[in-house]
Amino acid sequence: MNYKEFMGNAQHRLELDELGPAVRATRAVLTTLGERIGPGEASGLASPLPMEVDRYLTDADSGETFGYHEFVDRVAQRGGIDGSDANYYAETIVGLVGEVVPAGNIEKVRNQLPEEFAPLFQFVDEPHPLAREQ
């Protein structure tokens, strides 16, 4: 999937009118995820993604330890959105990443995170409701 397709999917699934907010949401989610997971998992997750997107994971300071609420708060702050939107955006972007990367890569990330991060993988485990409308 190239950058244009990836961001078009993100924009559609997040139900945003413009591409800019979808880019900001994607950056916020993947940068925060990159901070939370180890550098090996960040590289493994990033490698199949478009190069304009993979850097959000690989350029983050990896290996920090924080809980899911802090994760959502960081996404909200970076994206300039409220917490409920940040939670949905994170689930949606991780689900989209899960469609692009090999299943083993996303499972390595899931296995590295505590159980409280399970909601992050909602759209990895089941299709996003807007995934088939494109």
**Domains (ranges, CATH) in the chain?**
3-125 (1.10.490.110)
Residue 98, pLDDT > 90, answer yes
CB 39 within 8 A of CB 112: no
Cα 48 to Cα 89: distance, rounded to the nearest angstrom: 20
Cα 75 to Cα 22: distance, rounded to the nearest angstrom: 13
**pLDDT the model gives residue 128:** 86
Identify the three-state secondary structure at position 24: helix
Residue 134, pLDDT > 60, answer no
Mean pLDDT for the stretch of residues 115-125: 95
Mean pLDDT for the stretch of residues 93-122: 95
Residue 103 carries which side chain, given as an amino acid letter? Answer: A
CB 49 within 8 A of CB 26: no
**pLDDT the model gives residue 132:** 59
The pTM of this model reads: 0.94
